[in-house]
Structure 1
Amino acid sequence: MTTTGTPDTLGRILDYSSRADPYPLYAELRRTPVARQEDGSYVISTYREITDILHDPHLSSDTRNLSQSMAGAEEQTAPAFINLDPPEHDRLRRMAMRHFGPPHTPGLVAGMDPALTSIVGGLIDDFAGKDQIDLVDDFAYPFPVTMICHLLGVPREDEPRFHLWVNGIIESIDYNPKTDPKEKLDNGIQARKALRQYLGGLVEQRHGRPGDDLLSRLANDDGPDGRMTDEEIVSTANLLLIAGHETTVNLITNGMLTLLRHPQVLQRLRDQPDLVVALTEELLRYEPPVHIVPWRAAYSDVTVADTVIPKGSRIILMLASGSRDPNRFHDPDRFDPDRRDNQHLGFGSGIHLCFGGPLARRETQIALTELVRRIDCPRLVADPPQYRRSPVLRGPIHLPIEQNGS
């Protein structure tokens, strides 16, 4: 099989002009399921091949396994377990999951419903009297970071500082050296340092003082895998904060945008709130928050779809393309909350399946249910809206919505 091809297609996908609707380009990309790029990397765009890679033990998430020509700067702090391989990845993930979900804490996410509902209700209360809101700035952006502060055990008086650091970090993710001032990048770097230092201080305070928050649980855990170091706890908390925040913001915003484009489904959700569970899964397939896994590295030569990928090669996984693969999903470009067998790639697959996925799902379910119930006659101000620059974490940077003010 010829593997050289579609470099122009990938370039067009990455270009900002395609951000509002990359899906026709994904269809073009799928004509060559495994495509070698000019820089020696390989782009994989079809469902079966992506899932094969995500479950292949010969693939690495550790940048140290990239060939020297493709490796970036070394991580100066303990990497989050998402950037590690077994057995270290498995050990750290097990230790985090003991306090984040089943089987050890099966009721954790469900037990957050009162706090989630309270935060959502308070944010929507602030819409009163406004003819127009920005769903990102006024709702989707502050909601998850407030919830993560609650989960980690950040004191309420520190939340404003925490929000400022998160703002600086998130803005730096979309840094464009051609158009943005360097201060935007520098602010992000300083915010990361300040946040890690702050989280480290919280962890130190938790030693010997068990509590219900996640930092306390991790700092005092003596389970079968031992205890995380303070640096590992900070990296885990940082991963939950940044990855969880971005995933939830995009999922809620993409979700509301999709509902406003499908008013009959919006009305169904208003009339049948239980629809939200299946609807959220379809959103994760149809308009996912994460479109691309920028790299995996091959430990050794691997064969995918009759293509040999050499050891050390960079592999780029087009998750959103795989979730619209017509060989796996019937009528994939149709938004269908009644879809069955919906094993999408919205949160990845395999050992790196998003460990914050259950929380992001529940946040989105509560948010969308309350938004469609309480916003009076919502209408899009602009379609398509303005999108953020990132092709990896794709979502609107603003989503202005008109409502009947009261």
Structure 2
Amino acid sequence: MDSDTLLARITDYVNRPNPYPLYAELREAGPVVRQADGSYLIGTYHEIAALLHDPRMSADPRCRTASSPSAETANLPFLRLDDPEHHRLRTLTMRPFGPPHSPGRVDAMRGEIAQLAKELMEDFQAGRQIDIVDEFAYPLPVTVICRLLGVPREDEPLFRAWSDTLVTSADVRPDEDSTERNQAGNQARIEMGQYLVDLAEQRRGHPTDDMLSAFVNEPDPALRLTREELAETAVLLLIAGHETTVNLITNGVLTLLRHPEHVDQLRREPDLLPQAVEELLRYEPPVHMRERIPRADIDVAGTTIPTGTSVVLVLASGNRDPKRFHEPDRFDPARPDNQHFGFGSGIHLCYGAPLARIEAEAALGALIPHLSTARLIQDPPPYRQNAMLRGPRHLPIQL
């Protein structure tokens, strides 16, 4: 088939269960492949790594030559901003989350996360059929991020609807008018932001041990987020704090059930689990693509990409590049030198990566003793619509 249809084929739902042959086709056609809609695809490891670290490549959608009016005026989370504004907001947001100002917050949650995983599995009895997504992989990170931010767990159905709309609006879908999706996403962002700001304001002057409270009770005026910044940042943390981790856990269970020999290996060698999580982040990552826009004409492997053009970096393809990884299509829990793109790279390296690793280790560590005798009910399982945040919507298994 023509290489200029690759993005359309990758994002076609029919290929959601297994996009990896298309990624191999992309690498073979690349490293830079122009698409019919004028965008560019890049799927080779070394080119992706270079561009993620190139300050000429912008994360800001307003840099697109053909950006929509809504994108021009929308407030953006720091994930979609460039330095120095990205650095300023990320640094302020990190103060109540991690080093150097809050070095123990995430580590202190290890026991709580392990206990939560144990509680979620109390009804996992032999002979039962369960849905890993609905009964485990979703409630674990949602509960953790709610506790971390200070969001009432009973409000989860409310923000789940907003989150689904926002994730849908952020998907990559060529040959589709995105106006309606963008409008719905903007409305959901406004409503969710207002909800989170209102929660934070309830804690102003009455601090509690959560991040929303820390944001509004920061004593130094120079280090405070504005109301608009707080709204965008809180929305980002709440969504990113569970959406990708759900995929990481679910993809991990699916991969292990497809490779039962490694389930037994991890039972015998539990100290290998952190390394196995890194391999899962490479082999079946929760995020498959990221968009960047060049602020100037930029040469990549002999191809000039014009200023303002959409460039889709296919991170999951880079993770399977044989020029970087030995036998890249083989799942190897003991793989050495595993510098994957599971959490991205460069200045936008995933803010919550330490927490996601702890959650994945706790989740899989709790499940592995049950997986030796479990079997998949449906393979491939039904997948989510989203091609960028790829993962099963349901994962039914028989214990």
TM-score with structure 1 length normalisation? 0.90
**Match status 1:306 vs 2:299:** no
The count of residues paired between Structure 1 and Structure 2 equals 390
* Alignment counterpart, residue 354 of structure 1, candidates 337, 350, 356: 350
Alignment match of 2:275 (pick from 259, 275, 278): 278
Q: Structure 2 matches for 1:363-402, cutoff 5 A?
A: 363-374=359-370, 377-402=373-398
Instruction: Find the aligned partners of 1:344 and 1:58 in 2 and give their Cα distance.
Output: 22
For 1:168 and 1:117, locate their aligned partners in 2 and report how far apart those are by CA, in whole Å.
Answer: 28
Q: Letter of the aligned partner of 1:33 in structure 2?
A: P
| Cα distance in 2 between the residues matched to 1:186 and 1:10 | 23
Q: Is the 8 A contact 2:207 2:217 kept in 1?
A: yes
1:357-403 CA-partner distances (Å, limit 9, x unpaired)? 11111101100000112467111111111111111010111100001
* Letter of the 1:271 counterpart: R
Q: Give the distance between the partners of 1:267 and 1:236, measured in 2 at CA.
A: 41
Alignment gaps of 5+ in structure 2: 174-179
Does the aligned pair in 2 maintain the 1:285–1:323 contact within 8 Å?
Answer: yes
Deviates most, 373-382 or 114-123: 373-382
Equivalent of 1:11 in 8, 23, 26 = 8
Query: Which residue of the partner structure matches residue 139 of structure 1?
Result: 136
| Equivalent of 2:60 in 59, 62, 65 | 62
C-alpha distance in 2 between matches for 1:70 and 1:24: 31
Q: What does residue 37 of structure 2 align with? A: 39
Say whether the 8 Å CA contact 2:166–2:189 is kept in structure 1: no
Contact 2:32–2:300 (CA under 8 A) maintained in structure 1: yes
Matched residues, percent identical? 53
Asked if the contact 1:6–1:37 (Cα under 8 Å) also holds between the matched residues in 2, the reply is: yes
Alpha-carbon contact 1:162-1:195 (below 8 Å) kept: no
Residue identity opposite 2:144 in structure 1? M
**Shift in Å, 1:230:** 2.4
Instruction: Provide the rounded CA distance (Å) in 2 between the counterparts of 1:75 and 1:241.
Output: 24
User: How much does 1:122 deviate?
Assistant: 1.4
Q: CA deviation at 1:326?
A: 0.5
* Cα distance between partner residues in 1 of 2:348 and 2:7: 24
Report the Cα distance in structure 2 between the residues aligned to 1:273 and 1:373, rounded to whole angstroms.
Answer: 11
Aligned position for 1:159? 153
Which residue of structure 1 lines up, in the alignment, with residue 198 of structure 2?
201
Distance in 2 (CA, whole Å) between partners of 1:300 and 1:192 is: 30
* Alignment partner of 1:210 is 2:207: yes
Q: How many Å separate the matches in 2 of 1:75 and 1:280?
A: 38
SS of alignment partner, residue 125 of structure 1: coil
Cα distance in 2 for residues equivalent to 1:138 and 1:251:
15
Aligned with residue 330 of structure 1, among 326, 342, 348 = 326
Alpha-carbon shift at residue 191 of structure 1 (Å): 5.3
1:116 maps to 113
TM-score (norm 2): 0.91
Paired position in structure 1 for 2:77: 80
Alpha carbons of structure 1 residues 72 and 198: separation in structure 2 relative to 1, 3 Å:
same
Counterpart of 2:163 in structure 1 is 169
Return 237-246 or 331-340, whichever deviates more. Answer: 237-246
Contact 1:61 1:82 in 2 (8 A): yes
Letter in 1 for 2:349: L
Deviates more, 1:109-118 or 1:75-84: 75-84
**Matched-pair contact (CA < 8 Å) for 2:288–2:388:** yes
Q: Secondary structure at the match of 1:217?
A: helix
Q: Counterpart in 1 of 2:48?
A: 50
Q: What secondary structure sits across from 2:87 in the alignment?
A: helix
Shift of 1:65: 1.0
Displacement after TM superposition at 1:296 (Å): 1.1
CA, structure 1 residues 375+43, in 2 after alignment: closer, same or farther (shift >3 Å)? closer
Inter-partner Cα distance in structure 2 for 1:327 and 1:380? 33
Shift of 1:221: 2.4
Partner of 1:23: 20
Specify whether residues 333 and 402 from structure 1 end up closer, same or farther in structure 2 by C-alpha distance, changes over 3 A only.
same
Q: State the shift of 1:356 in Å.
A: 0.8
Task: Provide closer, same or farther for how the CA distance between residues 314 and 188 of structure 1 changes in structure 2, counting only shifts above 3 A.
Answer: closer
Q: Deviations over 1:320-362 (max 9, x none)?
A: 0001100011110000111111000011000000101111111
Matched letter for residue 170 of structure 1 = D
